[in-house]
Amino acid sequence: MLNPYLPQTVKIIDTFQETPTIKRIDFRVNFSPALLTKKMTFVPGQFILAGVWGAGEAPFGLTNSPYNRKRWQIMVRNTGGRVTSSLHRLKPGDTMTMRGPYGNGFPLQKMTNMDIVAMAGGCGIPPIASLIEFITVNRNNFSKVYLVYGAGSPEEFAGKSRFTHWRNKKIEVILTIDKPQKGWAGRVGFVSEHINNLSFDAQKTYVAMCGPGPMFAGTAAAFLQLGVADQRIYLSAERKMSCGIGKCQHCTCGKHYVCLDGPVFSWNQIKDMHD
């Protein structure tokens, strides 16, 4: 039997400094035959455990289109810790370790034919970007689609090179920075402050969000106030992880394992989860 803790070594194809602290790493995966039979190689919202031999591994959301078999991508924010610092030193041609994909991902079937509001804060963009990529391929299966993306300053938006493509696919991309800044003519304020200006049908809207913890409560409250049901508000939760496969209990949150039952949970589920 294959050892589930044994990562595969994958080759870095390309790296790109998305923001002063976030680096994108593109790599080639040796897919298992079972995965190759599927149309999508993962579900947006799923994560991998990536690392460097000797430095350990950590969870990262996949950020590429789930239909892309040539390269997978992660965006890594350098926290100064062992794993992210080591990943930031990688160059094209180097190798890194990878296990996964793990976790559940966003509920794509339920979201079909609905209005979608994707909310991303700071380094929460990777899984949301993958969801948007999925939607662009299946655009006719969704009604209105918004992406509201907030960052501390304009330089901190990751994934900028994809915004034009998304807008061409009738995805309204709304960018906002926390505080006014010279040279920025766009929106200002937290992502939750821009929800009231969107035009979606609350009865048929799904929300997908990922970002820093404090973003969730205010954003969910704004959607609930507008009549979006809590079982249609989804978020990607972050917890320290070790095994990634429901064995070590590092990531427990209430009765749930974030690695196995999540990382994507509905607001309905989150309400009952306590640290």
Ligand X SMILES: Cc1cc2nc3c(=O)[nH]c(=O)nc-3n(C[C@H](O)[C@H](O)[C@H](O)COP(=O)(O)OP(=O)(O)OC[C@H]3O[C@@H](n4cnc5c(N)ncnc54)[C@H](O)[C@@H]3O)c2cc1C
Nearer to ligand X, 24 or 194 (CB): 24
* C-alpha distances out from residue 184 to 128, 178, 179, 181, 237, Å: 24, 11, 10, 6, 31
Instruction: Tell me which of 9, 17, 30, 79 binds ligand X, using CB under 6 A.
Output: 79
What is 218-238 written as a DSSP string?
HHHHHHHHTT--GGGEEEE--
Residues 6+ positions from 36 with CB-CB distance below 8 Å: 69
What is 67-94 written as a DSSP string?
T-SS-EEEEEE--SSHHHHHHHT--TT-
Instruction: Tell me which of 27, 42, 47, 216 binds ligand X, using CB under 6 A.
Output: 47
Instruction: Assess contact for 65 and 79: CB atoms under 8 A.
Output: no
Q: Is 84 in the site for ligand X (CB under 6 A)?
A: yes
Q: Which does 79 bind (CB under 5 to 8 A by kind): ligand FES, ligand X, none?
A: ligand X
Nearer to ligand X, 48 or 116 (CB): 48
Pick from 209, 128, 119, 122: which is nearest to 158 by CA? 122
Q: Is 238 in the site for ligand X (CB under 6 A)?
A: yes
Select from 78-86, 143-151, 152-160, 174-182 the region that touches ligand X (CB under 6 A): 78-86
* Residues of this chain that bind ligand FES (CB under 6 A): 241-244, 246-251, 257, 259
Q: Is 8 exposed, middle or buried (0-12, 13-18, 19+ CB in 10 A)?
A: middle
Q: Which does 235 bind (CB under 5 to 8 A by kind): ligand X, ligand FES, none?
A: none
Pick from 95, 126, 105, 100: which is nearest to 243 by CA? 100
Instruction: Assess contact for 123 and 236: CB atoms under 8 A.
Output: no
Q: Is 120 in the site for ligand X (CB under 6 A)?
A: no
Nearer to ligand X, 79 or 143 (CB): 79
Q: DSSP class of residue 241? A: -
Instruction: Tell me which of 239, 242, 245, 254 binds ligand X, using CB under 6 A.
Output: 239
Nearer to ligand FES, 99 or 232 (CB): 99
> How many residues contact ligand X, by CB under 6 A?
21
Nearer to ligand FES, 43 or 251 (CB): 251
**Residues in the site for ligand X, rule: CB under 6 A?**
47, 58-61, 74-77, 79-84, 123, 126, 238-239, 241, 263
